[in-house]
Amino acid sequence: MQKNNFHTLVHRPLGTYVKYIKLLPLVLLAACGGGDQVADTQPQKWQGAEVRVESRPSPPRPGVNEFLVIVTGERGPIHDIMVSIRTDDQDQWIQAIQDGEVGVYRRAAKVAPGTRSVLQVQIKRNGAEGVLRFPLNLSP
């Protein structure tokens, strides 16, 4: 008699699936990306974490654009931080929305030539705070 495949999958020890579970954050990051989208700026470091910024559309255009701030550490995505963005020193900080626990934070902001062509990213974690500035190359 043939065994039920579903039964054997469900009753395997959890250790059998650990290698697949470790790949889940990477799969989720790839699924959240836009396929051919690339980082719009060079990554920067903050307290040992790498911070990357991508825009939708890419490259950003004058007007309102969506920004993804992707934060990864030595052990993978960092999701226990608060990320806020703005494009001008006179603007209020706008908190980005955490996209699951995969180290991706999303928010829209107005971009224009001049002072608004620099994305400022504020990061808060465990009482520490930092601001990174990402110059944006706008498409015409």
pLDDT value at position 10?
57
The ranges assigned to domains in the chain are: 5-135
Q: What is the mean pLDDT of each run of 10 residues along the chain (140 residues)?
A: 56 59 56 50 94 94 95 94 95 95 95 87 96 91
DSSP string, 1-57: -PPPHHHHHHTS-GGGGHHHHHHHHHHHHHHHS-SS---SS--EEETTEEEEEEEES
Q: Look at residue 34 in the predicted model and tell me its pLDDT.
A: 46
To the question of pTM greater than 0.75 for the whole model, the response is: no
Does domain 5-135 match CATH 2.60.40? yes
- The neighbouring-strand residues paired with 52 are 70
* pLDDT given for residue 13 in this prediction: 64
Burial 43-81 (b: 16+ CB within 10 A, else e): eeebeebebbbbbeebebeeeebebbbbbbeeeebbeeb
- Position 116 scores a pLDDT of 80
